[in-house]
Structures are given as structure tokens and as C-alpha cells.
Structure 1
Amino acid sequence: MKLFDKNYKHPYAYDPKYKKRAVYFSMEFAIDQPFKIYSGGLGFLAGSHMRSAYELKQNLIGIGVLWKYGYYDQVRKGDQSMDALFQEKIYSFLEDTNIKFTIEVHGHPVWVTAKYLAPEVFDTVPMFFLSTDLPENDYLAQSICHRLYDADQQAKIAQYILLGVGGAKLLDELEYGAEVYHLNEAHALPAAFHLYSKYKSLDEVKKRLVFTTHTPEEAGNEKHDINLLYKLGYFCGLTVEEVKQLAGLNTSEFSHSLVALRMSRLSNGVSALHGEVSREMWGKYDNICPIISITNAQNRKYWADEALYRYMERNEDDKLVARKKYLKAKLFETVADQTGNLLDPDALTIVWARRFAAYKRADLITEDRERFERIISNTDKKVQIIWAGKPYPQDLGAISVFNHLVHLTKKYHNCTVLVGYELKLSRKLKQGADIWLNNPRVPREASGTSGMTASMNGAINFSTDDGWIPEFANGENAFVIPRPDLSRPVFEQDEHDMNHLLDTLEHQILPMYYDRPEEWVTMMKNSMRDVLPYFDSNRMAYQYYEKLYNGQS
């Protein structure tokens, strides 16, 4: 019997304390640089989770989608502004399962196959990736798995059906007998309707379904007209009235996160603060499951520079500083290659790098142009700034901010914008940063895990008081911008944060870095020390089993 025919078994012996068979559904996974099926933080989190689950030998498998063109490849136009290249990806490290089955999309059968990622390839749990790119399908059906987060609304809903229903039907094909269906965000919610059509009982669905929510404001949680979802086959044969009754809806607006909270037995926010915000945000609705907190984390084994930790643990500060300067120089080779700017390893280097979105305010540090000019032009206490990140390819506002920064930095030899922000560049940026700048509007950043991996590489966090930062910062390991009055207009909150950002940079960070280097090294070591072990994803993967998979609603 072939491995994938029937009765699929985990390929390694799992630890008995993680014996419950769990399946993790996610639209994106950032597993390793060659495997480009992710857009940002959700994928980085999922990738670290799959690695830590493997390290802990958990009885977990991952299910995603094999995006033919990935998210997109970020390249440059002739004037250095960004462009989005959609290029076919071919992955020789994935195995054919020879499994094929159909799902229904818009009243038509769509053929689905699955590719397998074995644990030994990237040190992850076993993973399956769904594809409709088959000759049995017409082009429209083939294109469901072409682009992550397709801009077309109906195509995106079809992608959710592929992940949710396709993933659940794959488990049926494998006769896997999953005890936990873990939805990382609500994208795979159609799996719940597949389970309902199978068991005809909401209690049986709830027994199996758990849900991680990542979006800390209700407006950001995806909603669609229920009739459109019905027409596309989202509900696995249930009528609109049956869905409304099942999900407790009295309008035609279908909130994916709200319905996930009503069909799951347990849910979690991704930081202590996000858990509080989520409970307050959803508390006005009845029949939702409890929302606990499991703070996001990142995989130390994959992300941390072990030489830095070795020197820190031996109190070899000279070697620690020398190693950090070497890592900065390696990053600056990439900067020079992309932009022609030659940066100085001795100068304070600030990095802002993450998914470009309006609330993350990539250009906040530049908004007071006079002060920005003064800081950037200071020859006594030099500052270098590097930006990187991928806007959503249809988000014209975010692309405009990215391109504005590109054109702004042409005036300065010590400021630059990089393209291609993926795992490889992310690691280089964290290794080369002295300051990891994170300035989202509070409380819109559910977690913000990039700062964790920055700390694992000797960078000091400089952040608004949002996401994971309240659980980490203690006055001796990070610089934190105090919270504004959230009842004030947004432009006043932005001004408050900008002024505190520039004040802290001018009056605390620069004097410490240049005039009191011993204090700087102490803070750097505090940051590296305090980020572990709590913000290593081994803790997170352990807690998912203890609190979510084995937890009681």
C-alpha cells in the first residue's frame, strides 16, 4: 500500500503528551526562503509554528495551498520604484501524493490534488499543499490557486473553499481521523460547514474546531454577502436560511470571524493585549466561544544568530560587538548591491521592515521633515535608516508610500529602501539592525512578531506599546513610545507618536549608542536574554496543545 492511499500515519514517533491528532489550516506558511507561499506576519508565524511542532514531536500536520505564482516577487521599475512580478514557482522538494478529488465551486466540480512536504526537508511537521492547477480543470478553476489573496472577490472566496473544504476532504481521503481542526484566521472556515454536512450536528463541529483570530478591530475582519457565499458553494449544500439559523445571523452580512467564534469550542488572541481587545470587541455578540490568549512567538533555532548568544553567555562583550558589526557589514553588502549606497557599520542603523500597510505607518519618522533632516544630517551622531516590506499588490495607497520613501531616500546616502522582503532578507535585516523600529497605531497590531526575531539577533526594539511589547518591554530591554489618548482623533495620535519617536531617538537612543556604549551593550544583552524562552515558538506550540487543543470551552 502506498503511503498516501488510505489510513495516513504520522511519519515520525510523536511525544505521547501531544498525542491528539491536530491539523493546522493556514492560507500562508513562511517555512524557508525557496518556498514562496506567504505574504507577511501570518505566514512567518505559521512557519515557526510548524518548525516548533516538529522540534517538540507533536502529532500535528499542516494544510495550506500551493500558490503557483506565490504572493508576488517584488522588483523595481526603471526609476527604482516597486513593481510586482508574478512568476511561476516550481518546487522539486514537494512529493506527488497521487490523490485527486473534487470540490464544488459555483455549482461546478473542481479537481483538487495535494503535494506533500516531508518533515526532513525543512524540519517541519508533515504538510500538505492543495492545488487546482490540473489539466482536468478549465482555466478559471486552475487559477484558484494561482495568486495568494487574489484581488478578485469571488476568486478569493473560491480560495477559502479550496483551503477549508479541500483540506477537510483531503483528511477524509487520507482517513486521518483528525481530532482538532485548527483554523489560523477564518480563511478555512468552509471546513466547519464540511464537518456540519458530515455530522449534522453543531456540537460535533465544535468538538473538533478551534480558531485563532489575528485582527484586533471588527472592521478589519472580513465580511461578505451571505447570498454570494451560497452561490459560490461556501456552505457545502446548506441553504442560506439553514446557515443563518446555524450561525445565529439575522442579516445577510456574513462575518467570517464572528461565525468562526460561534462554530468553535475555543478561540485565542495572539497576545495578552490582543486577547483583551478581542474579548471586548466580540463580547457584545451572543453564543461565541471563549477567547483566551496565546502570545505569538518565533522559532529560535531558525532565526537566532547562535554566535551572538554564545558571546553573550560567556560575557565576551568585545566579541559580541564585533560579531554584530560583522553582521551589519553583511547586510550592507545587500544594500550596496540593490541601491549603490555604502553604509557604515559603525553608525547607528535603524530598520523598519514588515508588511506595508497604512496603520503600520512606515513613513512616520519622516513626517516632521525639519527634524528628520536634522537627525539624518548629523555628522557627529550618524543615523542610517533602511526600509523594506511588501505592500499588497492592489493596495495603491501602500505602494504610494513605498515609492514615496524610495524617491525621498535618493537624496540621502544614509537612507535606503530594499525590495524582496522575504525570509532571507528578513534575517539579514534583523542581524544588521541596531534598532528595530515598529510604530503601528495602537491597538491595531495584534502581535508584531518581527521584533522577537530582531531581539534574537542583537537588535533593540523601538516600538509603540502594542502587540507583544507590553509582555516584553521592562524599561531595560527596549525603547517604548508611550500610548496616546486613543479617544483623540487619529491625526493627533499620529502626531503624539511621531514627536515621542523623534524625542526618544534624539535624546535617549543616540546619546546611549555613541556616548555610553557599555549601556548600549547591556540593553542589547537584556533584549537577547529576555526574548527567550517565552518568545520562542516552542513555548507557543506547547501552549496550543495545552490550552487550545486539550483545553475545555
Structure 2
Amino acid sequence: MKAIRRFTVRTVLPEPLRQLEELVLNLRWSWHHETLDLFRAVDPALWRSVRHDPVRLLGEVAPERLARLAGDRRFLRRLQDTAEDLHDYLTAPRWYQTRSEADAPGPPSPPGAEPGGAPSAIAYFSPEYGITAALPQYSGGLGILAGDHLKTASDLGVPIIGVGLLYRHGYFSQSLSPDGWQLERYPPIDPNGLPLTLLREPDGTAVRISIGLPKGRDLHAQVWLARVGRVPKLLLDSDVEDNDQPARDVTDRLYGGGGDHRLLQEMLLGIGGVRAIRAYCRITGHDAPEVFHTNEGHAGFLGLERIRELVSEHGLTFDEALEATRAGTVFTTHTPVPAGIDRFPRELIQRYFGGPNEEDDVPVERILALGAEDYPGGDRTVFNMAVMGMRLAQRVNGVSELHGRVSREMFGGLWGGFDTSEVPIGSITNGVHADTWVAREVLELAAREIPAVVESGRGWEGVQKVREGEIWQIRRVLRERLVQDARRRLRASWRQRGASEAEISWVDDALDPDVLTIGFARRVPSYKRLTLMMSDQKRLRSILLDPDRPVQIVIAGKAHPADEGGKRLIQDIVRFAGSEDVRHRIVFLPDYDMALGQLLVQGCDVWMNNPLRPLEACGTSGMKAALNGGLNLSVLDGWWDEWYDGQNGWAIPSADGLATPDRRDALEAAALYELIEEHVAVAFYDRDSAGLPRHWLEMVKHTIATLGPKVLATRMVRDYVEDYYAPAAASARAMSADKHAGARALAAWKRRVAEAWPRVAVEHVESNGEEGPQVGARLSVRVVVDLGDLDPGDVAVEVAYGRVDGADTLVDPSYLELGGAEPVEDGRLRYVGEVPLERSGAFGYSVRVVPSHPMLAGRAEMGLIALPPAPSGMTNGDLR
């Protein structure tokens, strides 16, 4: 008989072992090897069988074993030491606490004071988090990045509060049918069997968060608390008795359903997430966040809730509340493709936020305007979550330099009139959490040979002094570990597909720990081109089976359950990998998760990535491989476009601009084969008399020395603190000081400028010094403008100048603000200035008028610009 309900009964630990529960409930164990060693010592065999899940370990360990451990003085000393180490980690000052006093976190600046200092708390919202395989609340790169962000914030002492949803079925478990088709299964998750605790009121009752729904219904949620080192992570869960069944199913699965279901998830994440933070801070006394970081558009509704708070509780107007909210909000976009953005029909937003459900404080028309694609080429029928996120944030960034450029092109319509280069979307290149992804053997080697890197993050050049033989030995150990685990997974997969034990005897010889191993693992949308390697199957076979320089490829990845095309790609690769002649050299491992990901980035010699450029936003797997001594073989996309230097791996040429996709794929596949055959394999198998591939190991050392300090998430999080969080906190304080006087003033100023802007015009432009100019001379420019009802202090009149291309377009122009503002006839003003001629060659300039206010984050923030009329045959921006 099958059980109708499943739940977890937690072990009652003997008093001497109570600290084990404290260790289990703080997810620091997921990246702290000494704590993992302690759990392993509880019961080594059981630890292996529960796949290194400490909650399951304590739930299944025999009472007799616990009794013995409770009397084992050696184990108890070890337990005490580990618990004290965790306490020190949670309480001792770290990087954030030891920054210079001027930048230290602090209370809001008093009225009139210069706002400064890093935020006392930051709220970080993400729909998924990859912390550990034992907490399956992630699907891919977005979640893994969010998990690394929280872990690194903990290591650095950055006061982040994470917010997400608790999915009762997580993301799907993947298996294969006999013919290689992806099958999905959603195993139920019991929160009591996870390292979580319920957030409770002081009287012990569970905290309840509610948001309003149409027809007078409410969506209720409880809040689970996960401790990620020093970082609290709040996970909202709608599976509570107060809800009807459809409402209980809102948090059933990650990225499940569509339409109403997906919208409800995002409403709960954004609106409910803010309310959960308020409850957490009230109960615990934690500082309220000054900065809100939205990790992709899924949580964009958090801005609406913060506006509602300011309007209902502080008496601000919608526009004033919008300015106060924007000032302290950071929005990170992770997708370079429009299809990756959540869009909802406008009618659906109208139904959930309008009619009887409309709040006077947050009118539905204002909400619809925030998500409207009301720019050239936009779809007027949809509500765009990323667009809303950008309009609700004063600071926006992509996740690599190339992705920043792509994002400025994608979303440039939001700042119409400005050149793409001026669209206010910056970039912070992603990084990875070393203690999670780097093999223990590598970490121990670093601690032994280059301790400065472990202690302070400096001295990476010291890797050049590490003995090549020691590096090569570790690489062999990691490759063999991957091979052994791959065989185990292969055997289980083939048995699940219906093969008999006799039919899978070949698995014992699948892969070889001494053969060049290439890894390819990621989600399987079409643009990542899982099957590019199969473009010429005959040539791929010859590479895999080369008698002198054989190659083996380990592949993993999941297609979205609704992506039939992605599933066909997996089926194609599975069928090829099942061919008798090559199945020992190429394997597909199902159910890609963090545990498998760790083995792959540690054990593969080469990490291969061949997306359609420029559709890879960042792609951090190759960073993880590099830190483990792997080399990258990739299209110049994402982070690799930024940091490839010719010696840290190989760049697959990209056939950009070719008319047909098939032709492009064929050319890039041919380049990929040639690189593997003529460069990668040659370097790997070219051995000296000691059996070492000297050139290969030189590349490994160079990779670690040069990429190490760049790809770490410590660099990434510090960049966020310095470039985004601290400025956002300063802006938020300036807006909130003196009962939000700054927000009120800025909203009034913006309204006045926007209403008056249609009358702003550049009337006349002239310059002296264009005849026979030489480098070092100066060009005198005079501009007459009509500001209409605006004052000179409301605007900046600027000259854009520099090199021009063949079409007279300014290339990477510099800007000079003109002064003077001398009155001329009819209320017009003359501005003057001198442009330095610092380079020879074709030179040009143009002029413009833009809004100017000290509380704007940049010239383009309002999307308003006035340009001179274009002379006949020329366009704005080309005026010479």
C-alpha cells in the first residue's frame, strides 16, 4: 500500500551531540570541508549512501551509533572544535566590517549631510538558489550564480538577506527512455527533511504572509529560514492550510506552469518577499535593507510593494515613492535573448492588479506603464518583467562586458534618443565561489604552496613555482574520480532504461582516466548548440578513436520540460553516444545537478562551450574548470570574450554574420574539430622524458595565475558593493532624509522637466578654428538654446566630440559641458566652450541638451535629449 502523505521525522540527538543540529542547519557545511569530514565520521557508509546529505544522515543513523558517539571523547572534542569554528566564522569581523571607516555601514545621514557609507543591509531576490544538491531549489546558471553570491557575501561579511520561494517539487529529476528521450520526474520535497526552520513569531506561531488576489481571495505563505553562513535566506511556501488547492500549488515547482501560475509565483516572490523581510527584521531585530537587488525580472514586483509602503505609510505620492524606490534598487539582467524574459499579457496584469483588486496607492495604469514595451519595435500587448525591473531601478547591469553591450542594444529603447553606448546599463562579470567548486586536493595544494592566495586572495603568480609533477598528479586523481562516478551513473541510467546486467558489462571500461577528457554540461536551449560537435559524425568518431591521441567527451544537461527541440538534441547525442564503437569514449550523464557539476569541472581537462555568439550572458562553468586546472575551448562569448588571452585555452572562431545558420554551424564545427585535433590533443599528449606535458602544464599555470583573481566571486561581490550597493545606499539615504524631502523634490523636478521638455531646442551652433586645425589646438564652440520654461540649472549643454567614421558618426565620443548661459534675444541662452583637439585624423562634434540634477545617476536617466536640427544630407549626431 502506498502512503498518501510523506513527511520526515527528525532525530532527537543525545545532549552531547546537540551541536550537530546547529552545524546541519547552517549551510556553511556545503563548502566547509572540515564540517563535511565530521559528518562523514558519524557513519562513513551511511554518509555515502545518503549522498552527503547531513539531514538524511542524522535522520537515518542508528540510535546505537549515536549513543556510541555521545560517549566518544575524541569525536566530542572534534564536534566542539567545529562548532566553535562556525561561531567564529559567524561573529568575527570580515572584509565588509574592516573597510575604511568612511565607507563603513552606518545609519542614514542627517539632513544636509553628505550621504555615504555602505548599506547596513541588502535584500537579494532570486527565483532560485543553487546552494547544495541537498537543497534542490535551482535549475541552472541563474540559481548557481545566486547561491555563489550568497556564499561569498557570507565569507566577506556583506549583510545580505536572501529571498526566494520554496518549491515543494523543486526542479525536475531527469532520466532517459529506452530510445533516449528525456523524462521528467518531480519528487516531492518535505521541508522538514531539509536544513530549514520555520520563521516564527515570538509566541511560537508560524509567520504568515498574504497577498491579495482577484475575487476577494488571498494567497497565504509561510516562511522557511535557511542559514547560508552569515546570510539568512527566506523562502516563501504557499503549501499551507489557509489556501485552497490552487493557491497551495503556487510554489509547487520551479518554473512550472504558465500564465496565471507563473504570475502568482512572481507576485509572491516580489510582493510577498518584501513582506517576509519586514516580518524577519521585526522579529529578529535585523537592520532593514537599504538596498534591494533584483536578480533578473522574476522578482520585479518587489518595487511595487515598496512603492505601496511609502504611499500608505509615509504619505508620498506614487511618483515620489517611485523615486525613493528606484534610488535604492539594483537590477541585474541575465539574458541576452528576448525569449528569456518573462512577458505576460497586459490583460492578465489588469485582472490581478486592477478592478476590485486595485489599490488606490498603486493604480493599475501606473503598473501597466512600468512594464510597457512602448518603444520602437516593442510589443504593445505584453507586460515585460525586465522592462519593469529596469524602470524601478536606478542602477542596472549585465553579467559580463559583452553582455552589458548586448543589453544596451536590447533595451536601448527605454532611453530613446541616446546612443547605445550611453544607455545606463553597466556590467559586473560573474564570478564563482571557490570553496564550492574547487577540488579539495587543489585547495590543499594552494594552502601548502601559495598560502597568500588562500589567506588574502593575493600572490596568484606564485602558482608558477609549483612543481608540474604535483599538478599533473592531482589532475590524474580528479580525472579518475570523474571516470569512476561516470561509470556508476552510466550503469544506473542504462539499467533504468531497461538494459540487463549482461548488456552493460561494457560500462566497466567506459572512459579512461589517462585519456584527454573534454566536458560539456549546461542547460539545453538551442542556442547553446549541444550537438554542434556532431555536425560531422565521421570526423568526431576519428577524433574519439584516434589511436595515438584519443579524446573522450563527458556530456550532461537538461532541457526545459516544454522544450521539445531541446529534448530532441539530447536524444540525438544519447543515440550517438550509445553506438558500440564510441560509447566508451563519449557519454551522456543524466540528471545534471550541482554534485555532478562539481565532478565535471574538477575532472575535465578541457571545458568546451560553443553557443551562438553573443547569446551567452556569462557562462561560469568554464571559470570553475579554470580554477581546477582545466583549460577552456570556447566561442568568444560571455566571460571568455573578456578574458581569453591566447595562452589560457583556445578560442573557437565565430562565423558571425553569415546568412544561413547551417553554414555558420558547419564552419564553426570544422574549426572546433581542427582545434581539438591539431592543438588541444597535441598539447595534451606531447610528453617529456618524465612523462609530463610541459607546454600543457605551462598553460594550466598561466590560466590559474591570470584568471584566478578575476573569476572569483569575491571579486564580483566586492564590485557590487563598491560600484552598486554603496552608491545605491547613498542615493536611498538622500531620498529618505528629512521625511523623504529628497524624493519629493526630485519627483517634482522630474515632472516639471518632462512637461517643459518639448519646448527645449538647440537653435544655433557655430565654431571657430576648423580651418587647418592641428593637434593641441582648441576649437571654440558657441551654442544658442531655447530652454522654454526651464532654468539653466535644470540642464546641461554638452559638446560630444572625437573621431568619426566614414558615415560621420562619432565613435566613442568625449563630452564637454559648456558654460556661460549668457542671455540673448527672446529669452534664449548662449553657451560657450573650447574643445581640445587631441588626436589627428577625421574629427567631428555635435551638441545636445540633457536634464541635469545632482540626484540623477546619469545623463540618460530620464531618456530626454534635445539635438540640433540635422543639416541637409546629415543626421543628428553628425554635425561637424
TM normalised by structure 1 equals: 0.93
Cα contact 1:230–1:239 (8 A) shared by 2 = no
Does residue 1:286 correspond to 2:406, yes or no? Answer: no
How far has the Cα of 1:471 moved from its partner?
Answer: 2.0
Q: Residue in 2 aligned with 1:297?
A: 431
The counterpart of 2:329, out of the listed 191, 195, 209, is 209
Q: Deviations over 1:329-356 (max 9, x none)?
A: 1111111112225211111111101111
Q: Residue in 2 aligned with 1:111?
A: 220
Within 2, Cα distance between the matches of 1:150 and 1:109? 21
The number of residues matched between the two structures is: 540
Does residue 1:540 correspond to 2:540, yes or no? Answer: no
The counterpart of 1:338, out of the listed 468, 471, 489, is 489
Q: Deviations over 1:5-35 (max 9, x none)?
A: xxxxxx8566245543110000111001201
How far has the Cα of 1:248 moved from its partner?
Answer: 6.2
Q: Residue in 1 aligned with 2:480?
A: 329
Q: Residue in 1 aligned with 2:393?
A: 264
1:124–1:370 CA distance, 2 compared to 1 (3 A): farther
Does residue 1:187 correspond to 2:187, yes or no? Answer: no
Cα contact 1:194–1:236 (8 A) shared by 2 = no
Does residue 1:60 correspond to 2:160, yes or no? Answer: yes
| One-letter code aligned to 1:281 | M
Q: Residue in 1 aligned with 2:232?
A: 126
Q: Deviations over 1:277-319 (max 9, x none)?
A: 1112212323898211100000112211253353656522112
Within 2, Cα distance between the matches of 1:236 and 1:367? 55
Summarize the alignment of residues 93-108 of structure 1 with structure 2, pairs less than 5 Å apart.
93-97=195-199, 98-107=206-215, 108=217
Summarize the alignment of residues 523-538 of structure 1 with structure 2, pairs less than 5 Å apart.
523-538=699-714
Q: Residue in 2 aligned with 1:398?
A: 566
Q: Residue in 2 aligned with 1:147?
A: 253
Q: Deviations over 1:364-385 (max 9, x none)?
A: 0111122112212212211101
Identity %: 31
**Which range moved further: 434-443 or 477-486?**
477-486
Within 2, Cα distance between the matches of 1:279 and 1:83? 38
Within 2, Cα distance between the matches of 1:157 and 1:301? 36
Q: Deviations over 1:146-200 (max 9, x none)?
A: 1100132221111101110110111222345321111000000111111222223
Cα contact 2:251–2:265 (8 A) shared by 1 = yes
1:387–1:140 CA distance, 2 compared to 1 (3 A): same
**Which range moved further: 95-104 or 232-241?**
232-241
Q: Secondary structure at the match of 1:534?
A: helix
Q: Deviations over 1:58-93 (max 9, x none)?
A: 111100111111111122334554321111113342
Cα contact 2:130–2:146 (8 A) shared by 1 = yes
Q: Deviations over 1:381-407 (max 9, x none)?
A: 111011101111221111111122111
Does residue 1:228 correspond to 2:328, yes or no? Answer: no
Within 2, Cα distance between the matches of 1:56 and 1:501? 40
Cα contact 1:30–1:45 (8 A) shared by 2 = yes
Q: Rg: which structure is higher?
A: 2
Q: Residue in 2 aligned with 1:28?
A: 128
Q: Residue in 1 aligned with 2:186?
A: 86
How far has the Cα of 1:269 moved from its partner?
Answer: 0.5
How far has the Cα of 1:524 moved from its partner?
Answer: 1.6
Summarize the alignment of residues 474-485 of structure 1 with structure 2, pairs less than 5 Å apart.
474-485=645-656
Summarize the alignment of residues 335-414 of structure 1 with structure 2, pairs less than 5 Å apart.
335-339=486-490, 340=507, 341-411=509-579, 412=582, 413-414=584-585
Cα contact 1:294–1:544 (8 A) shared by 2 = yes
Within 1, Cα distance between the matches of 2:368 and 2:515? 60
Within 1, Cα distance between the matches of 2:120 and 2:239? 33
Q: Secondary structure at the match of 2:267?
A: helix
Within 1, Cα distance between the matches of 2:604 and 2:384? 40
Specify every segment of 5 or more residues in structure 1 that has no aligned partner in the other structure, as ranges: 1-10
Q: Residue in 2 aligned with 1:491?
A: 662
| One-letter code aligned to 2:685 | Y
Within 2, Cα distance between the matches of 1:257 and 1:134? 30
**Which range moved further: 333-342 or 73-82?**
73-82
Cα contact 1:350–1:385 (8 A) shared by 2 = yes
The counterpart of 1:462, out of the listed 611, 629, 633, is 633
Does residue 1:421 correspond to 2:592, yes or no? Answer: yes
How far has the Cα of 1:268 moved from its partner?
Answer: 0.5
Q: Residue in 1 aligned with 2:618?
A: 447
Within 2, Cα distance between the matches of 1:254 and 1:60? 29
Within 1, Cα distance between the matches of 2:237 and 2:589? 32
Cα contact 1:328–1:433 (8 A) shared by 2 = yes
Cα contact 1:381–1:510 (8 A) shared by 2 = yes
Cα contact 1:261–1:267 (8 A) shared by 2 = yes
How far has the Cα of 1:236 moved from its partner?
Answer: 6.7
Cα contact 1:266–1:548 (8 A) shared by 2 = yes
Within 2, Cα distance between the matches of 1:248 and 1:456? 42
| One-letter code aligned to 1:198 | E
Summarize the alignment of residues 297-316 of structure 1 with structure 2, pairs less than 5 Å apart.
297-308=431-442, 309-310=445-446, 312=463, 314-316=465-467
Within 1, Cα distance between the matches of 2:153 and 2:611? 30
Within 2, Cα distance between the matches of 1:247 and 1:406? 41
Within 2, Cα distance between the matches of 1:425 and 1:248? 41
Within 2, Cα distance between the matches of 1:385 and 1:529? 26
Cα contact 1:442–1:464 (8 A) shared by 2 = yes
1:306–1:530 CA distance, 2 compared to 1 (3 A): farther
Q: Secondary structure at the match of 1:69?
A: coil
Q: Residue in 2 aligned with 1:196?
A: 307
Cα contact 2:372–2:383 (8 A) shared by 1 = no
TM normalised by structure 2 equals: 0.59
Cα contact 2:373–2:387 (8 A) shared by 1 = no
| One-letter code aligned to 1:117 | A
1:453–1:410 CA distance, 2 compared to 1 (3 A): same
Q: Residue in 1 aligned with 2:365?
A: 241
**Which range moved further: 429-438 or 493-502?**
493-502
Q: Residue in 1 aligned with 2:27?
A: none
Within 2, Cα distance between the matches of 1:246 and 1:465? 35
| One-letter code aligned to 2:126 | S
| One-letter code aligned to 2:262 | K
| One-letter code aligned to 2:271 | V
Within 2, Cα distance between the matches of 1:81 and 1:279? 38
| One-letter code aligned to 1:173 | A
Within 1, Cα distance between the matches of 2:548 and 2:173? 39
Cα contact 1:364–1:498 (8 A) shared by 2 = yes
Within 1, Cα distance between the matches of 2:180 and 2:197? 39
Cα contact 2:554–2:589 (8 A) shared by 1 = yes
| One-letter code aligned to 1:54 | S
**Which range moved further: 369-378 or 456-465?**
369-378
Cα contact 1:84–1:393 (8 A) shared by 2 = yes
Q: Secondary structure at the match of 1:513?
A: helix
Q: Residue in 1 aligned with 2:138?
A: 38
Cα contact 2:353–2:364 (8 A) shared by 1 = no
How far has the Cα of 1:476 moved from its partner?
Answer: 0.5
The counterpart of 1:521, out of the listed 688, 691, 697, is 697
